């Protein structure tokens, strides 16, 4: 027993040093992964010129559009859709490609249509959605955008969301998709009535992209 006196503190100090070293090593590994991927995030997989313009305006530099056929899985959550698309984009192109998906969750419909909004728009359009909500007083909705990429080892997914309401009529002619029927909280204009700079200042896409910049580091995205 006598030979054990004093050892607990010594072992504790070693344990603390080990934990600090492990934490430092983990941080270095993450920095290495980010730096290794830095020059590769140059592409955005989209066929939508408006989305490309909006993303580039928010990022402050030009991502190049890349054409790649990606599976649109049937899911309500935009995070799930983006995760699948990010992995598939990497496998098909061999590049780190930014992908994006946007959904509209209507509170009264328990989150529908969510990421399925594109099929709602393709079949009934914004006017059809308004018609289906014509008898509803609760017109609350949440607009969500997920952005992300896959670096060959893991997927980085970031989500931005904006609460708002569904209008009773189509408002505005700019924007795209369901912009004419969504008014964000604290505003009187629909997304389609806002200028590009006004919309970018409050959009869920900006929030998602800002989360991405904060997580991976502004230096990773600079050109």
CA distance 85 to 157: 11
Residue 101 appears among annotated catalytic residues: yes
Q: For residues 126 and 84, is the Cβ–Cβ distance under 8 A?
A: no
> What does each C-alpha distance from 49 to 45, 87, 94, 112, 177 come to in angstroms?
11, 22, 23, 26, 13
Q: What is the mean pLDDT of residues 6-31?
A: 52
Pairing status of strand 97-106 against strand 43-45: parallel
Reported as a single tens digit per residue, the pLDDT across 139-167 is 999 999 999 999 888 899 999 999 999 99
Tell which CATH classification among 3.90.950.10, 3.30.590.20, 3.100.10.20, 3.90.1720.10 matches the domain 41-221.
Answer: 3.90.950.10
Closest CA to 102 of 12, 156, 15, 178: 178
Per the residue annotation, which of 101, 138, 151, 179 is the catalytic one? 101
Reported as a single tens digit per residue, the pLDDT across 49-83 is 888 888 888 888 889 999 899 988 889 999 999 99
pLDDT of residue 22: 60
Q: For residues 68 and 93, is the Cβ–Cβ distance under 8 A?
A: yes
Domain ranges of the chain: 1-40, 41-221
């Amino acid at each position: 027993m006598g030979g054990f006196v004093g050892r607990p503190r010594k072992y504790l100090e070693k344990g603390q040093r080990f934990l600090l070293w492990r934490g430092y090593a983990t941080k270095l590994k993450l920095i290495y992964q980010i730096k290794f991927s830095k020059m590769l995030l140059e592409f955005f997989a989209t066929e939508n010129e408006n989305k490309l313009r909006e993303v580039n305006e928010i990022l402050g530099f030009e991502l190049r559009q890349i054409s790649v056929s990606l599976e649109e899985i049937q899911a309500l959550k935009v995070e799930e859709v983006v995760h699948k698309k990010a992995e598939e984009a990497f496998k098909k192109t061999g590049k780190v490609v930014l992908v994006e998906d946007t959904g509209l969750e209507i509170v009264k419909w328990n989150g529908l249509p969510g990421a399925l909004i594109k099929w709602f728009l393709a079949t009934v359009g914004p006017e059809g959605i308004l018609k289906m909500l014509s008898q509803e007083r609760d017109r609350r909705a949440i607009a969500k955008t997920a952005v992300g990429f896959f670096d060959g080892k893991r997927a980085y997914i970031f989500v931005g969301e904006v609460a708002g309401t569904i209008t009773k009529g189509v408002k505005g002619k700019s924007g795209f998709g369901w912009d004419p029927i969504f008014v964000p909280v604290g505003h009187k204009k629909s997304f389609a009535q806002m200028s590009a700079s006004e919309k970018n200042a409050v959009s869920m896409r900006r929030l998602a992209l800002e989360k991405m910049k904060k997580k991976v580091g502004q230096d990773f995205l600079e050109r």
